[in-house]
Amino acid sequence: MKFSELNLEESVLQALEAMRFEECTPVQEHTIPIILEGKDLIGVAQTGTGKTAAYLLPILNQLSKGGYPEDAINCIIMAPTRELAQQIDQQMEGFSYFMPASSVAVYGGNDGVRFEQEKKGLTLGAEVVIATPGRLISHLSLGYVDLSKVSFFILDEADRMLDMGFADDIMQIVKYLPKERQTIMFSATMPAKIQQLAKTILRNPEEIKLAVSKPAEKIIQTAYICYENQKLGIIQSLFQDQTPERVIIFASSKMKVKEVTQAFRRMKLNVGEMHSDLEQAQRDQIMHDFKSGKINILIATDIVSRGIDIDDIRLVINYDVPHDSEDYVHRIGRTARANNDGCAITFVSEKEQTQFKSIENFIGKDIYKIPVPEELGTAPEYNPRSNNNGGKRKGNFKGKRNSATRKPGNGNNSKKQQKS
């Protein structure tokens, strides 16, 4: 479906035309009309589907009509991490260049100057506030933020917010909001706790589910069945013939990230590390260096597996098997975006075999096992205990994509891509 077929204001359509966006992604096609009708919505869709534009566009469309309080906060967008809040803010800036709307990003850090900038935006009444829960509550507790005129309340990656322990914060923020509002929730999964949250804060919501748990077909998925102490050796063998480019390596904890980073530096590999011990300024610098090519390899916890918009990742390596099958999908979803091909490799130690088998059950396929290089010695056999609780495939919608047409969430130009 083309954007011109949706009931969007002429100014919005002109902006989309100027940005050379014509075709909706499936999530946009199904959610924009519902949001324009003013209905509450719960959308089950994963990163990389264009979901950020799916809620930003209709909200900017409604704000452009006028009739909303001036110098007041009209829209709150909640995100679980600073990185995702920044990402949404960047997309907001891109759209509002053509559709003037004031916004402020409120996502934390220890910078006092930044806190004052956030305070100024909140007190002057930026139309759209993009925030992490903890930071917004810090401002609310000081008494100068008025949310009584909010018309739109959006929770992006709601499941991740609950996983990170923000349930009470979200409910506290809701108390500041008017009862008459439109609430939109996006989640990659729909566990019971998300359904309960939806019942609590949404009113008669429409529900849209889009193929949430299956990796893109163009991702080449492979695995090494190995001992824990063989993992670094496999990395060395992978990278000995050519310098790797655009690689993300996920590890299960920040301690593991630090250990692997040190080992890689001893191997003279050009790496950066990303985990929760870093200050925001350090994270920003590492992401900038990785995007610009100054760093070839990014070693990270799951903090970047959701919501970070980097299109040309060539290879994703799971140094550890993810604890959750959904996290596997999110991790490997960093590659093969924007119509590029990509490869995902998972290292599976003896203790992780049952966990990995549950992922194979979850995605409905056996992942090809690459033999461990002979020089690293014998490797364990793949003999996981049977596990039939790996999860069922969720979602049955498969939208057609026209790769020849630019669209939010599917572009190649970094300034114009509108992926979530």
Decide: 353 and 382 in contact? Cβ < 8 Å. yes
Tell me: do 158 and 297 sit in the same domain: no
What's residue 209's pLDDT?
A: 85
Are 327 and 230 part of one and the same domain? yes
Tokens representing 232 are 């670094």
Position 55 pLDDT exceeds 90: yes
Residue 410 pLDDT more than 70?
Answer: no
How is 287-342 classified by DSSP, letter by letter? HHHHHHTS-SEEEE-GGGTSS-----B-EEEESS--SSHHHHHHHHTTBS-TT--E
End position of a domain, from candidates 209, 241, 263: 209
- The total number of structural domains that make up the chain: 2
Domain assignment present for residue 305? The answer is yes
Q: What are phi and psi of 259, to 5 degrees?
A: -60, -45
State mean pLDDT over 320-337: 78
Q: Is residue 79 located within the same domain as residue 151?
A: yes
Strand 219-225 to 152-155 pairing:
unpaired
Mean pLDDT of 192-214: 85
Residues 292 and 256: their CA atoms lie apart, in Å, by: 25
Whether the pLDDT of residue 380 is over 70: the answer is yes
Return the pLDDT at 183: 97
Are 35 and 113 part of one and the same domain?
yes
Whether 172 and 92 share a structural domain: yes
pLDDT recorded at residue 254:
85
Backbone φ, ψ for residue 299 (5° rounding): -110, 125
Separation of alpha carbons 75 and 268, rounded Å = 47
| End-of-domain residue from the set 184, 209, 234 | 209
Looking at per-residue pLDDT, the higher value among 284 and 285 belongs to 285
pLDDT of residue 304: 59
* Three-class SS state of 134: helix
DSSP 241-276: SS---SEEEE-SSHHHHHHHHHHHHHTT--EEEE-T
Residues 198 and 289 in one domain: no
pLDDT in tens, 134-188: 999 999 999 999 999 999 999 998 988 998 889 999 999 999 999 999 999 998 7
Phi, psi at residue 405, to the nearest 5°?
Answer: -105, 135
At 47, is the pLDDT very low, low, confident or very high (cuts 50, 70, 90)? low
- For residue range 336-372, list pLDDT tens digits in order: 665 567 899 999 999 999 889 888 887 888 999 999 9
Domain that holds residue 98: 3-209
Q: How far is CA 58 from CA 38, 99, 137, 152, 154, in A?
A: 10, 12, 26, 11, 12
Tell me which amino acid residue 200 is.
T
For residue 393, the model assigns a pLDDT of 33
412 within a domain of the structure (yes/no): no
Query: Distance between the two ends of the chain, CA-based, in angstroms?
Result: 19
Q: What percent of the chain has pLDDT over 90?
A: 45
CATH number for the domain harbouring residue 16 = 3.40.50.300
User: Mean pLDDT over residues 48-60, rounded?
Assistant: 86
User: What token pair was written down for 311?
Assistant: 């299109």
**What confidence category does residue 250 fall into, taking pLDDT thresholds of 50, 70 and 90?**
very high
Q: What Rg, from alpha-carbon coordinates, does the chain have?
A: 22
Same domain, yes or no, for 111 and 236? Answer: no
Average pLDDT on 302-313 reads: 64
Q: Among 16-25, 141-150, 248-257, which is the least confidently predicted range?
A: 16-25
Q: Are residues 260 and 366 in the same domain?
A: yes
398: which 2 tokens?
A: 């498969």
Q: Do the domain assignments include residue 77?
A: yes
Q: In the numeric block, which tokens belong to residue 386?
A: 């049977």
pLDDT of residue 413: 39
Tallying the residues shown for the chain, one arrives at 420
The label of the residue with tokens 């804060």 reads 201
- Predicted confidence (pLDDT) at residue 402 exceeds the cutoff of 50: no
Residue range 390-401, pLDDT digits in tens: 333 333 333 333
Domain match, 143 and 243 both: no
Task: Say whether both 173 and 251 belong to one domain.
Answer: no
- Same domain as 274, residue 330: yes
Residue with tokens 């264009």, as numbered in its chain: 50
What average pLDDT is seen over the chain? 83
pLDDT recorded at residue 404:
37
Q: Please check whether residue 34 is in contact with residue 206, taking contact to mean a CB–CB distance below 8 angstroms.
A: yes
Give the pLDDT band of residue 307 (cuts 50, 70, 90). Answer: very low
pLDDT of residue 139: 96
Instruction: For residue range 62-115, list pLDDT tens digits in order.
Output: 998 888 998 899 999 999 988 889 888 888 887 777 777 889 999 877 778 889
Q: Are residues 191 and 273 in the same domain?
A: no
> When comparing pLDDT for 45 and 214, which is higher?
45
**Mean pLDDT calculated for residue range 200-221:** 82
